[in-house]
Amino acid sequence: MSNIKRIKTLLNDPISVFEARTANLLKKLGIETALDLLFHLPSGTLYRHKADCVSALKIGDYNTICLRIDEYVQPHWGKRGAQPFRIYCSDKDGDGLTLVFFNARMQYIESQFPLNQTRAISGRVEKYKGKIQIAHPDKAAPAHLLDKLCGVDVLYPLTAGLNNGTIQRCIAQLLKQLGCIWDLEDWFDEKTLKEYELSGWYESLLAVHAPKFEQDLNISTSKARLRLALDELVTRGKKVEQNRLQRQSASGAVIPPSTILRRDFFQTRPDLILTQGQTDALKDIDQDLSAHYPALRLVQGDVGCGKTLVAFLAMLSSVEAGYQCALLAPTEVLAKQHFETIVNLCGFGGLTIALLTASNNSKAVYAKIKDGITNIVVGTHALLEEKVVFKKLGLIVIDEQHRFGVDQRESLRKRNEQASVIYLSATPIPRTLLMVYDGSVDISEIHDKPKDRLSVMTSVLPLDKLPLLIDRVHKLLASGDQIYWVCPLVEESEKLDLAAAKSRFEYLKTQLDGFNVGLIHGKQKDKNQTMLSFKNGSIRLLVSTTVIEVGIDVPNASLMVIEHAERFGLAQLHQLRGRVGRGSKQSHCVLLYQPPLSDTAHRRLKVIQKNSDGFVIAHEDLHIRHGGDVLGIKQSGVPEFKTCSLKEACSLAKLVRSIAHRVKDNLILN
C-alpha cells in the first residue's frame, strides 16, 4: 500500500478505534472519522501559571502547583445544607489550600489525590470566606510532571459526559499515528506557502492543537489556523466551482440584447430614463443572456429602485429572440400588480401577456402557454405546478425570492433547463448572500435612489408607549395621511402573548372614531378588494398581518407600525417598512416591542433602525442567522465550517479565490 493510501485510510477510519463510550460521545459532536477529529479544533485557550508556593498563586486564574495531600473531610450537612467533600493540602512552606468537590466518587479521589503524597495539581484558584481553594481541579499528576501541566492549554467544544482531557488524549494519539507515516509533499505550491508565511498541513495541525501562545488560535494572528481554514475553504470553493462549471457547460438559451422591442418601448415612453444602476444591471443581464449557458443572477436594490423595469427589458430580449418568459411572485396581490404593470408597459404593441394564479387557471391559459402563444406569464405558486408546460421558456424572473423555498425556486428551472434565472430582491436571504460570496450566483446592485424619494425614518418603542403612538396616529389621519398597522397573528393565541390583527382592529376602531379602519389577513376572501379600498383612500388605516409584506403601492401611506417587531426577521421588517415612503412626503416606521428583548432581537431591531440599505441588512442577517448550506437546501443555520466562523470565511473569500488555481488536487480533504 502506498503512503498516500495509508494516510487516507487512517484519516477515513471511523473513530471506533477509541473505546465505545468515547466514540459515541464524539459522534454527538459530529465526529465520525479520524479526519473529523483532527478538524475538531480548539475553541479557546487558557494559560496555567506555574506557582512555587500558595502565596504566589494568581487568584481568579488557572494555576499549577505542587501540594501535599494532608486530610480528607467527608461531605456532611451543615447549617446551610449539604457541604462538599474537601481535601486539605499544604505547600512546601506549610501554607494551606483546600480542594473542593461536589458529588465526587471516592474511587476517583483516592486515585488522583492519594493521602500523604505530593501531587502536581492544576485548576482555577479562588478565595472563599478569606481562604484559598480550588473547586474541582481539572488536572492532577505526579509531582515530577509539574511542568507538563503548565503553560497554554487548549479547550475544545464538548458535550455532556465528554471532558477536555479525553479529547486531548484522542487527538494526541491520532497525531502521533499520523506523524509516523507522514511524508507527503504539500499540495500548496511553494510560492503560496512563502507569500503568506504558511507552514505545511501536518505542521499546522500540530501547531493548532498544541499552540505555544494563547493568541495562536485566532485566524488573524495564527498562520497555522489560517492554513487549515484555507485548506477547507479552497476545497469547498473547488466543489462550488465544479457546480458553476457544470452549469456553464450546460446548453442554455442564447438571447442577444433586444433592439427592436426596446426601441419601440422607449419611443412610447420618452419620459422614462434609466438610472445608472439600472443601466449597469441591464448590461450585466444582457451579457449573461448572450452566453451559451443558463445564467443565474441576483438583482438587488431597495424597494422602488426599478428592479422590475430592468427585468421587463430583459424579458423583451427573450421575446425578441423567440423565447417565452415567466415572472414568479409570492402573492396573488403582487402577481396582479406585476401583470397590470407589464400590460401597461407593453402598450407599444404585439405582446401576449397571461396571468396564472390559483383563481385564474383556466385550461385556455395552460393551452396558450404550451402552444407558445403567450409571450410572458406572470403568476404565483401556480406557475410551479407540473401541468404548466412551456413551449420554449428562455427566462425566469423570481420576485421577492426570499418568500420561496429552495426546492420551489428550483422546480421551474429544472423542468426548463435551458432557461436563465434572475432573482429580484430588496433583502436577499442569508443563503442567497452566501451563494454570492461563493460565486454560485452573480450579482448586480442598484444603489440609485428614486427621484424625490426620502428615506423612511425608523424608531423603536416599547408597547407601554402605545397611548402616545395613538395620539400621533390620530394627528396623521386628521392631516390626510394613510397608515399601515401590522400584527403577527390573525386571532388571539392562548400560547403566544402577541397582538392579534382582529383584536387590534377592534381597539383602533374605538380609538380612532370618525376614520375608516380596515382589516386584511390571509384568511380573507375579499383581501384584494380591501387592498384596493386602501389604495383609493376609502380605508385610512389598514390593520394587517404580513400579507401586505409585498403588495400594491400606496404613495399616500406615510406611517408603518409593526407590532411585536421582535418576532419578525430582518428581511420581513425591511420589506414591511418598504410599504411606506413611496410618495414625496417624509414617512416613518415604528417598531413596537414587548420588553424584555433577547440579545438577538435587540440586535435585529438596532440593525433595521440604523440601516436602510437592503444589502447591508442582508449582511447583518447573514451574521445573525448564518447562511445555511450552499451545496444543500437549508436556507439558514450554521454552515458546516470546521476551521473558521462564517464571518472569517467571508473575509477570506477573495484570498481563497486568488490561490485556488495554484492548489493541486487536495489529496487529503477531497
pLDDT surpassing 90 at residue 394: yes
Q: Which three cell numbers stand for residue 456?
A: 423612511
Q: Which three cell numbers stand for residue 335?
A: 402577481
- pLDDT attached to residue 215: 66
- pLDDT attached to residue 437: 54
- Please state the pTM of the whole predicted model: 0.59
What is the per-residue DSSP string for 581-604? --SSS--EEEEEE-SSPPHHHHHH
Contact 264, 348 (CB under 8 A): yes
Other Cβ atoms closer than 10 A to 295? 24
Q: Show the CA angle centred on residue 522, arms to residues 517 and 525, nearest 5°.
A: 80
Q: Show the CA angle centred on residue 162, arms to residues 160 and 163, nearest 5°.
A: 115
pLDDT surpassing 70 at residue 178: yes
Residue 17's pLDDT band, with cuts at 50, 70 and 90, is low
Cis-peptide, bond into residue 639, ω within 30° of zero: no
pLDDT surpassing 90 at residue 140: yes
For range 363-384, the mean pLDDT: 92
pLDDT surpassing 80 at residue 238: no
Contact 667, 8 (CB under 8 A): yes
- pLDDT attached to residue 637: 43
Average the pLDDT over each of 11-25, 154-168, 270-284, 324-338 and give the range with the smallest value: 11-25
Q: Show the CA angle centred on residue 531, arms to residues 526 and 534, nearest 5°.
A: 130
For range 97-116, the mean pLDDT: 93
**Type of residue numbered 49:** H
Cα gap 218→171, rounded to integer Å? 20
Residue 392's pLDDT band, with cuts at 50, 70 and 90, is very high
Residue 227's pLDDT band, with cuts at 50, 70 and 90, is very high
Average the pLDDT over each of 89-103, 212-226, 370-384, 473-487 and give the range with the smallest value: 212-226
pLDDT surpassing 70 at residue 619: no
- pLDDT attached to residue 370: 94
With 0-12 / 13-18 / 19 or more C-beta atoms within 10 angstroms meaning exposed / middle / buried, residue 513 is: exposed
Cα gap 630→625, rounded to integer Å? 14
Interval 578-617: pLDDT, tens? 888 887 789 999 999 999 888 888 988 999 999 887 767 7
- pLDDT attached to residue 643: 85
Average the pLDDT over each of 219-223, 360-364, 400-404 and give the range with the smallest value: 400-404
Sheet of 393-399: strand order equals: 353-356, 376-379, 324-328, 393-399, 420-425, 296-301, 442-446
Class of domain 44-155: mainly beta
Interval 319-354: pLDDT, tens? 999 999 999 988 887 888 889 889 988 877 789 999
Write down the mean pLDDT value for the chain: 85
Dihedral through CA 210, CA 214, CA 218, CA 223, nearest 10? -50
Q: What percent of the chain has pLDDT above 90? A: 42
Q: Which three cell numbers stand for residue 357?
A: 394564479
- pLDDT attached to residue 638: 42
8-state DSSP, 479: T
Q: For 433, left (φ over 0), alpha (ψ -120 to 50), or beta? A: alpha
Residue 366's pLDDT band, with cuts at 50, 70 and 90, is very high
pLDDT surpassing 90 at residue 183: no
Cα gap 280→396, rounded to integer Å? 20
Top-confidence residue, 5 or 86? 86
Cα gap 88→100, rounded to integer Å? 9
For range 162-189, the mean pLDDT: 89
Which is nearest to 254 in space by CA: 226, 286, 222? Answer: 286
- pLDDT attached to residue 378: 95
Average the pLDDT over each of 44-53, 89-98, 264-273, 630-639 and give the range with the smallest value: 630-639
Per-domain residue ranges for the chain?
A: 3-42+171-216, 44-155, 260-446, 457-612
- pLDDT attached to residue 551: 57
For range 541-563, the mean pLDDT: 84
pLDDT surpassing 70 at residue 106: yes
With 0-12 / 13-18 / 19 or more C-beta atoms within 10 angstroms meaning exposed / middle / buried, residue 152 is: middle
pLDDT surpassing 90 at residue 110: yes
Cα gap 588→568, rounded to integer Å? 18
**Residue 424's beta-bridge partner residues?**
299, 399
**Residue 398's beta-bridge partner residues?**
328, 423
8-state DSSP, 114: -
Top-confidence residue, 425 or 41? 41
What is the per-residue DSSP string for 294-307? --EEEEEE-TTSSH
Contact 592, 562 (CB under 8 A): yes
Other Cβ atoms closer than 10 A to 550? 22
Q: Which three cell numbers stand for residue 458?
A: 425608523
Contact 89, 69 (CB under 8 A): yes
Q: Which residue has the cell 444589502?
A: 615
pLDDT surpassing 80 at residue 400: no
- pLDDT attached to residue 636: 43
pLDDT surpassing 70 at residue 539: yes
**Residue 401's beta-bridge partner residues?**
none
Which is nearest to 549 in space by CA: 575, 517, 581? Answer: 575
Q: Which three cell numbers stand for residue 149?
A: 501541566
**Type of residue numbered 525:** K
For range 122-142, the mean pLDDT: 94
Which is it for the CA torsion 474, 476, 477, 479, positive or negative?
positive
Interval 50-78: pLDDT, tens? 999 999 999 999 999 999 999 999 887 76
CATH fold, domain 457-612, is Rossmann fold (3.40.50)
Domains 260-446 and 457-612 share a fold: yes
β-bridge pairing 118-128 and 131-135: antiparallel
Q: Which three cell numbers stand for residue 75?
A: 461531605
Top-confidence residue, 612 or 110? 110
- pLDDT attached to residue 222: 86
Q: Phi and psi for 589 in degrees, rounded to 5?
A: -130, 130
**Residue 326's beta-bridge partner residues?**
377, 396
Residue 289's pLDDT band, with cuts at 50, 70 and 90, is very high
Interval 434-460: pLDDT, tens? 666 556 678 888 888 666 678 889 999
Residue 634's pLDDT band, with cuts at 50, 70 and 90, is very low
- pLDDT attached to residue 409: 61
pLDDT surpassing 80 at residue 97: yes
- pLDDT attached to residue 655: 85
Q: Which three cell numbers stand for residue 356?
A: 396564472
What is the per-residue DSSP string for 251-276? -----PPPSHHHHHHHHH-TT----H
Cα gap 350→268, rounded to integer Å? 14
Helix (H) or strand (E) holding 379: strand 376-379
Cα gap 297→290, rounded to integer Å? 13
pLDDT surpassing 80 at residue 463: yes
For range 496-514, the mean pLDDT: 84
pLDDT surpassing 70 at residue 402: no
Q: Which three cell numbers stand for residue 225?
A: 489556523
Cα gap 246→608, rounded to integer Å? 38
**Residue 98's beta-bridge partner residues?**
88, 133
For range 115-144, the mean pLDDT: 95
What's the 3-state SS for 117-160? Answer: CEEEEEEEEEEECCEEEEECCCEEEEHHHHHHHCEEEEECCCCC
Q: Candidates 3.40.50.300, 3.10.450.50, 3.40.1530.20, 3.40.50.140; correct CATH number of 260-446?
A: 3.40.50.300
What is the per-residue DSSP string for 437-488? HHTSSEEEEE-PPPTTPPPPEEEEEEGGGHHHHHHHHHHHHHTT-EEEEE-S
What's the 3-state SS for 31-58? Answer: CCEHHHHHCCCCCEEEEEEECCCHHHCC
Give the number of residues written for the chain. Answer: 670
3 state SS of 213: coil
Q: What percent of the chain has pLDDT above 70? A: 87
Cβ neighbors of 446 (< 8 A, separation 6 or more) are 275, 277, 278, 280, 281, 299, 300, 301, 302, 305, 306, 307, 310
Which is nearest to 397 in space by CA: 257, 289, 287, 291? Answer: 289
* H-type alpha helices, 250-390: 260-268, 276-289, 307-320, 332-345, 363-371
Top-confidence residue, 91 or 307? 91
